[in-house]
Each structure stands twice: as C-alpha cells, then as structure tokens.
Amino acid sequence: MDEVSRPQPRLRRQPQQARSRARVEAVLAAADRILAQEGFEALTMRRIAEEAGVPVGSIYQFYPDKGAVVDALGRQYLEYFEVAVGELVERAAAGELREPVDTIVDVYADLFRRQPGGAALWAGRHLSAELARADEASNAVVAEGVRRIAEHLTGEPGGERLERASRMVVWVADAVLHQVFREGSPADPETLDELKRMLRLYWRDLGV
C-alpha cells in the first residue's frame, strides 16, 4: 500500500493521568454527538464543554481550538477503521470469512453508524486538511484490507489489477455509505442490499 499522509496531533499536551485521558475521551465523544445532531456550526469549545460536562478551560489544556478537536476525531475514526479491518483480515486468514462482500459492507456500514459525527463532517464542506487526510487514510486502510482478504481467499498473491479493484470497491462503498448516512439519517437496508449485490458481481468477476 502506498504511504498515506496521516493527520498529526495538535495537542497542547498529552493526557498522562487516567482522569485526564477520561476527560479527553469525554470531550471527543461530546464533539462527535454535537456534529451528528447539531452540525458543524454548533461546534464550539463552550458547547463541547457543556455537552461533556467539563469546564471549558480544561479543554484548552489539551486542544488550542475546535479545529484541533476535529482533527483528533479524524485520528480516532482512522483507528476504528484500522482495528475493524485488521479483524476482518484475521478472519479471512483463518478461513472464517464465509460471505466476504456482505461482511465487509456490514462492518464498513457499522463504522459509519458508530461515528455519526465523522459521517456528518465528511458529508459536508468543513473538511480541514488534516481531516481530509484522515478520510484518505481510512479508505487506504480498507482497500489494503480488501486486497489482503482477496489474497487469503484465493491463496494467491494479488497483482496490479487486484490493487486497483480493491481501491474501486472502497471508493464505491464509501460513496454509497456517505449518501446513506448523510445528515444522520438511518441506513436504508434496501440500499445496503443493492450495494452488496453490485459488489458481489464485481467480486465474482475478479475470480475471488
């Protein structure tokens, strides 16, 4: 996989104690809820503090501005993708991935469902350079995972076509899921079924 530029942290300082780490987690969770329910315009440091139940000054101890909070969310979203895709690859290697396309789409959709703030951001026009890199990195992580899953299923190393196809699978799924989860709307099961059907046909054409 090509090297992807990842967002770098803009923390004033790293939380060391358990209490500080818990406060940072509460701040990020609050920011995610605000983004999902009220939109980017409602996201202010004071509103985050109110939602998280912490003094606003304590947020400034770690984040210089709301842009830094959003960038931190982007890194958190990326970590979710890395963990989920790693588990899928392990299942494929162990021969436990029976319906790969359906499972990948379900896991990918669940990631969107679990991070509604991220879905709201990426569906809008408020991407910082750092958050855009997090989105790019997330797609690269999933594409690499799809390639490795295909290799485990076929027992053969993939070539240039499989790398390209893996990226296309992710681009298509990403575009559809952004549409499905835009503005916090509930996922339409029929649309997800159509996405699976489309990708299964493409997957079969690849000989996987």
pLDDT over threshold 70, residue 123? no
Domain-located, residue 58: no
Is 116 a domain residue? yes
- Record the tokens describing residue 125, joined without a space: 């026009």
Output the pLDDT for position 98: 85
- Give me the domain span that covers residue 109: 70-205
Q: How many domains does the chain have?
A: 1
3-state secondary structure of 155: coil
Q: Is 152 part of any domain?
A: yes
In a domain, 154, yes or no: yes
Q: Is residue 22 part of a domain?
A: no
Q: Is residue 171 part of a domain?
A: yes
* Contact indicator for 82, 141 with CB cutoff of 8 Å: yes
What's the CATH number where 200 sits?
1.10.357
Lowest-confidence pick of 16-20, 141-145, 150-154: 16-20
Residue 1 predicted with pLDDT over 60: no
pLDDT of residue 107 exceeding 80, the answer is yes
As a whole number, mean pLDDT of residues 78-84 equals 88
Residue 51 lies in a domain: no
- 84, 115 Cβ separation under 8 angstroms: no
Q: What integer pLDDT is reported at residue 2 of this predicted model?
A: 43
Identify whether 162 is part of a domain: yes
**Cα 93 from Cα 105, distance rounded (Å):** 18
Helix H segments across the chain? 18-38, 45-52, 56-60, 66-93, 100-114, 116-123, 129-154, 160-180, 189-205
Average pLDDT of the residues of the chain:
83
Dist. CA 82–CA 172, nearest whole Å = 19
For residues 48 and 40, the answer to whether their CB atoms sit within 8 Å is no
| Residues 112/173, Cβ–Cβ less than 8 Å | no
